[in-house]
Amino acid sequence: MSHFRPEHDQQPVDLATDLRQTVDQVTEEALNLGYRLEQRFALGRERRAKRRGDIPVMVAFDGYGSTTRVRILGRALLKTTGPEDPTDEDESSIRGWRSFTSLPITFAHVDVNLGGKDFRLVADKGGVIDADLAISLEPGVHEAHLRTEGSSWATSKVTVVEDGQRIGVVSDVDDTVMVTALPRPMLAAWNSFVLNEHARAPTPGMAVLMERLSRRYTGAPFIYLSTGAWNVAPTLRRFLSRNAYPSGSLLLTDWGPTTDRWFRSGARHKVENLEHLAQNFPDIKWILIGDDGQHDPQIYGGFAQRYPEHVAAVVIRNLSTAEAVLASGQFLAEDGPRIPEGIPLIEANDGATISEKLSEAGLL
C-alpha cells in the first residue's frame, strides 16, 4: 500500500493570499493595457492631425532655478492652422475649451537654448518638457528658447534665485487664488471648457496678499502648484497677470492613465513637486498657501513634518460652508493639518485677514 508523500518544497496553499496576488496581477495588467491603449489612441490622433496639415508649435512656460541648476518647462503641440496665439483673437471670445483643441506631440524632441548653451530634451507622452538643467547663471531673469521639429522658437522667462534668498512662496490655484470649485465634475467641465476666462473670479484679497509678500521678500520665487492640466496653462497665466498676482512658475499635471494608476494622483503631484523644490533650493523656507476644500492641509502638514527646515509657514484659506460643499461635495472635516511646533499655521477666509495674521507672526 502506497502513501502520498508531498515534495519537501511544497507549501500549503493560502487561498486568500493567492486571490490577492491574482487580483493585483489582473489590476496591473489592466492598468498597463489602459496606458498602452491611451498611447495608441494618442499616436493615431497625432498621425491624423499631421495628415490634415496641423502644424507643430512649442509652448514655453516660465521656469525657475538656482545659480547652478534651472528647471525648464514647456509643451510640444500640434495646432490647427490659424492665429498663432489665443491673444490674437477677440479677447471677449476666449474660452477655456480652446486650450484643449491642440494635440500633444508624444515624446517630441525639443531643442533648448539657454545662457548660450544648447540642450536636447525628450518630452513625455503628453508632450511636456519638465527637466532640470545643470548650468551656471547669474541671479535674475533669463530667456530660454525652445522649439520642436518643424516649429518656430518659443521664448519663456527663467527666474534664477540668488544664493542668499531664504524665503519662497508656493500657492495652490483653485479656491486659493481663483474661485472655481474645480473638483465638482460638472462645475469643473463648465469652468474648463465653457466659462469665459474673464468671468473667473479672483479670491478676495489674495492678490494683495501675494503682492505684499513679493515686496517683503524681494527676489523670492513664486510657484503656483495646481492639479490642473497643462492644457489650461495659458488661461491661468493670463488670469494671474490680469489680476495682478506676482509672476511665477506654473507646476501643473497631465490627465489620463499611467503605468500604475487609471488617473494621475493630484496629491502625489503636489507632494513630489514640493520635494523637488526642497531639492532645488536647500536653503529656502517656503510659505505654503492653500485651502481646506481638498487635501492641501494634509499635504502641507505632511511636508512640514518631513521637511520642517523647508517650511516658514502654512497658510490655509478656510472655505465657507457653501464653498466647501461646492468644492468637495461635503462639509469640511474638523481635523486641521498637523504642523510641527515652531511653524506658524495661519487660517482665515480672505487675503486681508491672512495678511494681518502673517504680520502678527512676523512674516509680513
For the segment 20-76, what is each residue's pLDDT rounded down to a tens digit? 455 445 445 544 555 566 556 556 665 665 666 688 989 999 999 999 999 999 999
* pLDDT above 50 for 175: yes
Spatial separation of the C-alpha atoms in residues 224 and 182, rounded to whole Å? 16
41 exposure class (CB count in 10 Å sphere: 0-12, 13-18, 19+): exposed
* pLDDT above 80 for 255: no
Share of the chain above pLDDT 90, in %: 53
How, if at all, do strands 222-229 and 249-253 pair? Answer: parallel
Residue 255 neighbours by CB distance under 10 Å: 13
Q: What is the model's pLDDT at position 47?
A: 66
52-61, 260-269, 279-288, 322-331: which has the minimum mean pLDDT? 322-331
CA within 13 Å, CB half, 39: 12
Query: What is the amino acid identity at position 144?
Result: A
86-90, 108-112, 153-157: which has the minimum mean pLDDT? 86-90
Are the beta carbons of 173 and 226 closer than 8 angstroms? Answer: yes
* pLDDT above 90 for 231: no
Q: Which residue has the higher pLDDT, 145 or 258?
A: 145
pTM of the predicted model, to two decimals? Answer: 0.80
Q: Which residue has the higher pLDDT, 259 or 129?
A: 129
Spatial separation of the C-alpha atoms in residues 96 and 166, rounded to whole Å? 36
Q: What is the pLDDT of residues 76-102, one digit of tens each?
A: 988 876 544 443 433 333 445 555 666
Please enumerate in sequence order all residues whose Cβ is within 8 A of that of 65, keeping only pairs 6 or more positions apart, or say none: 71, 132, 133, 137, 158, 159, 160, 161, 280
Q: Hey, which bits of 52-122 come out as E strands?
A: 55-65, 69-79, 103-104, 109-114, 117-122
Share of the chain above pLDDT 70, in %: 67
Spatial separation of the C-alpha atoms in residues 231 and 236, rounded to whole Å? 10
Q: What is the model's pLDDT at position 346?
A: 96
Q: Summarize the confidence of residues 324-339 as an average pLDDT.
A: 62
* pLDDT above 70 for 156: yes
Spatial separation of the C-alpha atoms in residues 330 and 326, rounded to whole Å? 8
First to last CA, the chain: 91
Spatial separation of the C-alpha atoms in residues 147 and 84, rounded to whole Å? 14
Q: What is the model's pLDDT at position 27?
A: 45
Q: What is the model's pLDDT at position 89?
A: 37
Q: Which three cell numbers stand for residue 41?
A: 489612441
Are the beta carbons of 301 and 314 closer than 8 angstroms? Answer: yes
Q: What is the model's pLDDT at position 200?
A: 74
* pLDDT above 50 for 283: yes
